[in-house]
Amino acid sequence: MKRKTSKAFVYLGASSIHGLGCFADIDIKKDELVRVWDGKDSRFIPVARAHASPQVQLIKRFGIRTARGYWVPLDFLRISTGWYMNHAATPNIGSDDGDVTYYALRDIEAGEELTMDYRLMDEEYDNLDRDEVVPASARPKTRRRR
């Protein structure tokens, strides 16, 4: 499906979910692409190298964990707004590629916080495990555990 790209900008603001969050500056229609990530704004760090790094706490706290390592911002001082996106079990944006291309799952109003489901970011690793217990009934059925 060819999706229209939303003209919305994403801005950071105080979140009722956790800390900072991403918010839409104008209304976004269902199925419109939402620009929250810069595809050149991340790098992969294998687990062993990440855990040996002096920045290990930063990597663990803000990185996207996979079975083999972490996706982290290329530069923690200059990162895309998407790195601040909060989790919701019923998110309003989703991804077909599980990477940097996100689209509206429903109409989103201006000023509404954009959320994604962290559990869908990696088939082998649940990105909520390190922060909270996810009920078995909420886990995707195809997830493999290690």
Inter-CA distances, 141 with 65, 119, 121, 138, Å: 19, 11, 14, 9
This prediction's pTM: 0.74
H/E element, 57: helix 56-62
Q: Categorize the per-residue pLDDT at 126 as very low, low, confident or very high, splitting at 50, 70 and 90.
A: low
More confident position, 51 or 126: 51
What confidence score (pLDDT) does residue 84 get? 86
Q: Which residue has the tokens 């082998």?
A: 124
Judged against a pLDDT cut of 60, whether residue 41 lies above it is answered with yes
The pair of structure tokens assigned to 32 is 């419109």
What six digits make up the tokens of 127? Answer: 């990105």
Tokens of 16: 């009722």
> How do residues 14-28 score in pLDDT, each as one tens digit?
999 988 999 999 999
Averaged pLDDT, 88-98: 84
Q: What is the pLDDT of residue 142?
A: 45
Give backbone dihedrals phi and psi of 38, rounded to 5 degrees, phi first. -100, 120
Which residues lie closer than 8 Å to 28 by C-beta, 6 or more apart?
6, 8, 34, 104, 107, 108
